[in-house]
Every structure is written in C-alpha cells, then in structure tokens.
C-alpha cells in the first residue's frame, strides 16, 4: 500500500470517513488487490482516532467485500472491478510520496473546554439525584417538569422567550426532535425551506420524512430574504442568532420580515438557537420566539454550552402545534436520561448554569480573540475571517487560489487538522475555499502554534 493522506472532518462520523476514503482508494486502484492495510492500531495512532473507529471502518469494508480479515495476519484488499464513480468524497492528495503526519493541533469544533467544566458541582448534584425515589421509575414522556420549569425561566431571562413549561418538550438532540417534529409537520407540509449553506444534520432529519427542499441563499452579509415571497413552502428552518455555518445574525428587520412571512402564509419557522449563549461583542440577540411565538418553533440544546455527550436538548412549541404534537407522542417514552434531566434541573436551579455560561463566554472570548489576532498577524490580506463575533468556530476564506481539499491536506502534512465547509453548501457554492476552525478545546499556545503551522503549510 502506498502512502495516502487521510482528511477527517468533524462533521461526519469518523469511521464512515475512513471507510469512504478506503473505498475511494480501492476503487481508484490506489491500493491494489492483496495489498495489506495498516493494522487497526497503526491506523488509529496515525489518524489520532480510537481503535474502535478504525475497527468499525474495517468491518464495514469487510461486510461490503472490499477487504478481508485474515485473522492475526491483518486485513487485505480484495479484487474488485475498477469502476468510474462520482467523486463526492474528499479525494486524497495525489502526491503519494508524502506521509501521514501525526495531528499536533486539532481545530475541531465538536468538543467543549474540559478544564473549565464544573466537575465537582455536577458530581455532587448527580450523586444527589441517584438517591431520589423518582430516579428509579420511568420519566415523563415530554420530559421532567422540574427541568422544563428551569428552562422556561432561563429562556425568559436570557433569550426573552416567554413560555409555559407545558409547551417545552425535552429531547436528546436537535436531530431527534426534528424527526418527531417532522412527523407532525409533514401532515400539512410537503416541503421545507432550508439555508444554503446550512446545518447538514437538520437536512438529514427532514430527509427522513421525505420533505422536498427549497433553499435560502446565505452569504457573509446575511441571507437573501428577497427570495422569501417566491417560495412555495410555508415552513422554514433557520439559525437566526448565529447562522450555521456563516456566523451572521439576522437583523431585527429581517427577523420581523420572516415572522410576518410565516404569519401571512400561516406557516411555521423552526428557529435553531443552537449556540446563542456565545456572542462576544454584544448581548445575544433576542430570539425570533421572543418577538412573536405564535408561528415559531424554538430549538435549544446543551451540547455546545455544556456537554455534547449528555444528549440534552429542548424545543418550545407554539400553541398551534402543541396539542397535535402531544397527541402524536403521548404513547412514547422520552429518549433522554431521567438522571441527566434531574441533575441539569438542579444545576440550573442553584444558579450554576448561568455562572457556567458566563464563565465560558469569557474563556471562549479570549480564545477567539487569540485565534483571530494570530490569523490576522500571519495571513494579513491573504484571508478574510467570517463570524468572529460569536460561536465556537470561525470560518476563514482563503484568497490564495487553492481548493478546500488542498488546504486541508497541506495542513495535515504540517500536523494541523482543519475542517471543510463544502458539506454545508447545496447550490450556493463559494468561489473561494472556506475553512472551518474550531477552538473550544485548544489553549492559547496551541492556537498560536496551529496558526503558525497553517501559515507554513499554506503560503
């Protein structure tokens, strides 16, 4: 097997990416029949992923017949017909003489800062919850009222959203809630308008219910709202506070425009407020649901601001949908851990949640300022930075006439992992490559070193 370069994104399961890239290598003939693949341990070490991840990729390849396991000897490539296939995956670097470098700095956006996690407090509350009688029973189908009351108070205080705990539904993740919500919305809606570029995970949840798509183009300056009146659908999924991935926030004029649009069409807006806590230059903008909640379905989560692995999200349903939704899901058990729900409710009630958000806002503000100033210092007018006011990542538009693929692969040779944005785009592709840099779990030193290495790699 020749040396090949892997490029792992944060936005898709890693084992799938490894599997897809091997498929690509094998189909292209870059790896030949009977070539031995690296061992699970070798590959895991060189890609800095877990051995479980590489094992899963290999097993998928075995299942599909691309490779075979020969016991302790390892994995070998099977003979297959070489076929021309659509080039939808990231291609490996053509120059096979370069080797895979270990990842020194990983600009991933899917992890949270570990050093500032309120470990002791969380442990204390989780341990308390384990002694409660209600922890040994089934929970409420739409989530514990105790947590819903805390969320209602928080939403009013921090997002201006007035809601009854009764209108809040607790779920595991944005995607899981969109699958449930989609079931109800599909009755009256064949299609949905989504942002382009936009969050690919939401797209997949709508695809689950076979919604047809119309797209709202989004640019660095904001979305093209002049399109609104021409859409056929009367259902729209948007990220108003911090557009995913372009980072822009809707102005109040835009907010009113989209609310009036939904009201005049008797449609609904799905407002995904996924990381609104982290706005560094001003106070977070008010949510659409705070302006007029009759036609807004508000989604929030604890994945960005607390822990992604806790799997805790929520939505606020407008009165018009509440009964329909509850009738549909009365008979379904909640998918979220009762223990996590009760622990989070206590955490919020004791004021720890607000304290945590405030602390993390400062921590992340320092990090983003460091990242932005380093980028400006090293790259000057060779790049534009998008979305430096909020969130847990910035986008970098690179004016060097290089492709996204080239930039990612060059960075990986220098031991820096950066992420693509092309997966978010549907039709509205950017003419220049845009790279995504997360910073939440990097120190200032790591950020400085990472940017320095990127400079060496790219310019």
Residues between 167 and 196 that touch its own copies (CB under 8 A): 172-173, 175-176, 179, 183
How many angstroms separate the most distant Cα atoms in the chain?
Answer: 67
Beta-carbon contacts of 191 under 8 Å, excluding residues fewer than 6 positions away, are: 211, 212, 213, 214, 232, 233, 235
The single residue among 193, 228, 287, 310 that binds its own copies, judged by CB under 8 A, is 310
The single residue among 70, 157, 332, 403 that binds its own copies, judged by CB under 8 A, is 332
Query: From the CB of residue 413, how many other CB atoms can be counted at a distance below 10 Å?
Result: 17
CB of 272 to its own copies, least distance (A): 14
Of the pair 9, 378, the CB lying nearest its own copies is at 9
Size of residue set near its own copies by CB under 8 A:
73
The DSSP H or E segment spanning 200 is helix 200-208
What is 239-296 written as a DSSP string?
A: --SS-TTT-----HHHHHHHHHHHHHHT-EEEEE-TTTT-BSSSSPPPPHHHH--TTE
From 211-219, 273-281, 306-314, 353-361, span contacting its own copies (CB under 8 A): 306-314
Of the pair 45, 113, the CB lying nearest its own copies is at 113
Q: Specify which residues 436 forms β-bridges with.
A: 395, 419
Of the pair 31, 342, the CB lying nearest its own copies is at 342
Residues between 431 and 450 that touch its own copies (CB under 8 A): 441
Residues between 246 and 285 that touch its own copies (CB under 8 A): none
CB of 146 to its own copies, least distance (A): 7
Q: What are phi and psi of 380, to 5 degrees?
A: 45, -125
CB of 309 to its own copies, least distance (A): 3
The DSSP H or E segment spanning 314 is strand 313-316
- Contact indicator for 77, 26 with CB cutoff of 8 Å: yes
Question: Whole-angstrom Cα distance, residue 315 to residue 174?
Answer: 9
Q: Per rule CB under 8 A, is residue 114 in the interface with its own copies?
A: yes
Q: Per rule CB under 8 A, is residue 200 in the interface with its own copies?
A: yes
Of the pair 64, 229, the CB lying nearest its own copies is at 64
CB of 326 to its own copies, least distance (A): 7
Of 394, 395, 410, the residue nearest 455 (C-alpha): 410
Q: Per rule CB under 8 A, is residue 215 in the interface with its own copies?
A: no
Q: Per rule CB under 8 A, is residue 301 in the interface with its own copies?
A: no
Of the pair 197, 284, the CB lying nearest its own copies is at 197
> In the block, which residue shows the tokens 């959203």?
161
The single residue among 36, 46, 166, 369 that binds its own copies, judged by CB under 8 A, is 166
Of the pair 184, 250, the CB lying nearest its own copies is at 184
Q: Per rule CB under 8 A, is residue 324 in the interface with its own copies?
A: no
Q: What are phi and psi of 41, to 5 degrees?
A: -70, -45
Beta-carbon contacts of 24 under 8 Å, excluding residues fewer than 6 positions away, are: 30, 89, 91, 92
Q: Is 118 helix (H, G, I), strand (E, B) or coil?
A: coil
Query: From the CB of residue 13, how many other CB atoms can be counted at a distance below 10 Å?
Result: 12
CB of 96 to its own copies, least distance (A): 28
Question: Whole-angstrom Cα distance, residue 146 to residue 343?
Answer: 10
From 36-44, 254-262, 315-323, 351-359, span contacting its own copies (CB under 8 A): 315-323
> 448 vs 107, 111, 338, 375, 376, CA distance in Å?
12, 19, 41, 9, 12
Q: Per rule CB under 8 A, is residue 21 in the interface with its own copies?
A: no
CB of 254 to its own copies, least distance (A): 29
Of the pair 131, 431, the CB lying nearest its own copies is at 131
> In the block, which residue shows the tokens 């430096």?
388
The single residue among 87, 330, 351, 427 that binds its own copies, judged by CB under 8 A, is 330
Of the pair 52, 443, the CB lying nearest its own copies is at 52
Residues between 23 and 82 that touch its own copies (CB under 8 A): 50, 52-53, 55-56, 59-60, 63-64
Of the pair 153, 339, the CB lying nearest its own copies is at 339
From 106-114, 285-293, 382-390, 401-409, span contacting its own copies (CB under 8 A): 106-114
> 75 vs 34, 62, 79, 80, 214, CA distance in Å?
9, 9, 13, 15, 44
- In angstroms and rounded to an integer, the radius of gyration of the C-alpha atoms of the chain is 23
Q: Per rule CB under 8 A, is residue 15 in the interface with its own copies?
A: yes
The single residue among 13, 29, 33, 102 that binds its own copies, judged by CB under 8 A, is 13
Q: Is 383 helix (H, G, I), strand (E, B) or coil?
A: strand
Here's the x/- map for its own copies, 118-147, by CB under 8 A: it reads as: -x--xx--xx--xx-xxxxxxxxx--xxx-
Of the pair 125, 433, the CB lying nearest its own copies is at 125
> In the block, which residue shows the tokens 């092309």?
422
CB of 379 to its own copies, least distance (A): 28
């Amino acid at each position: 097997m020749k040396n090949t370069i892997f490029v792992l994104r944060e936005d898709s399961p890693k084992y799938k990416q490894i599997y897809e890239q091997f498929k690509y290598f094998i189909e292209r003939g870059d790896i030949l029949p009977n070539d031995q693949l690296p061992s699970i341990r070798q590959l895991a070490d060189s890609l800095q992923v877990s051995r479980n991840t590489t094992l899963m990729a290999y097993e998928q390849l075995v299942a599909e017949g691309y490779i075979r396991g020969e016991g302790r000897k390892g994995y070998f490539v099977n003979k297959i017909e070489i076929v021309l296939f659509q080039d939808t995956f990231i291609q490996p670097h053509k120059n096979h003489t370069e080797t895979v470098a270990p990842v020194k700095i990983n600009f991933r956006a899917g992890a949270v800062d570990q050093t500032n996690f309120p470990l002791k407090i969380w442990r204390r509350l989780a341990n308390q919850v384990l002694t409660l009688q209600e922890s040994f029973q089934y929970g409420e189908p739409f989530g514990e009222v105790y947590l819903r009351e805390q969320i209602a108070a928080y939403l009013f205080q921090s997002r201006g959203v007035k809601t009854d705990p009764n209108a809040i539904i607790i779920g595991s993740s944005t995607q899981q809630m969109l699958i449930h919500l989609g079931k109800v919305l599909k009755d009256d809606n064949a299609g949905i308008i989504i942002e382009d570029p936009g969050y690919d995970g939401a797209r997949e949840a709508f695809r689950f219910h076979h919604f047809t798509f119309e797209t709202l183009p989004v640019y660095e300056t904001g979305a093209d709202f002049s399109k609104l009146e021409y859409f056929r659908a009367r259902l729209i999924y948007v990220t108003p506070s911090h557009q995913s991935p372009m980072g822009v926030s809707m102005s109040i004029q835009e907010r009113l425009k989209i609310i009036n649009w939904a009201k005049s069409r008797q449609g609904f807006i799905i407002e995904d407020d996924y990381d609104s806590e982290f706005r560094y230059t001003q106070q977070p903008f008010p949510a659409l649901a705070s302006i007029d909640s009759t036609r807004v379905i508000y989604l929030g989560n604890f994945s960005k601001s607390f822990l992604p692995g806790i799997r805790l999200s929520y939505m606020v349903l407008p009165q018009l949908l509440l009964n329909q939704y509850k009738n549909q899901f009365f008979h379904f058990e909640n998918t979220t851990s009762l223990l996590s729900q009760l622990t989070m409710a206590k955490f919020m009630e004791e004021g720890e949640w607000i304290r945590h958000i405030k602390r993390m806002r400062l921590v992340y503000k320092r990090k983003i300022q460091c990242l932005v100033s380093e980028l400006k210092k090293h790259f000057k007018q060779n790049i534009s930075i998008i979305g430096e006011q909020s969130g847990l990542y910035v986008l970098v538009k690179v004016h060097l006439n290089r492709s996204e693929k080239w930039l990612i692969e060059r960075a990986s040779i220098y031991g820096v992992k950066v992420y693509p944005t092309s997966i978010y785009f549907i039709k509205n592709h950017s003419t220049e490559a845009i790279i995504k840099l997360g910073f939440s779990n990097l120190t200032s030193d790591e950020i400085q070193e990472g940017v320095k290495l990127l400079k060496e790699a790219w310019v």
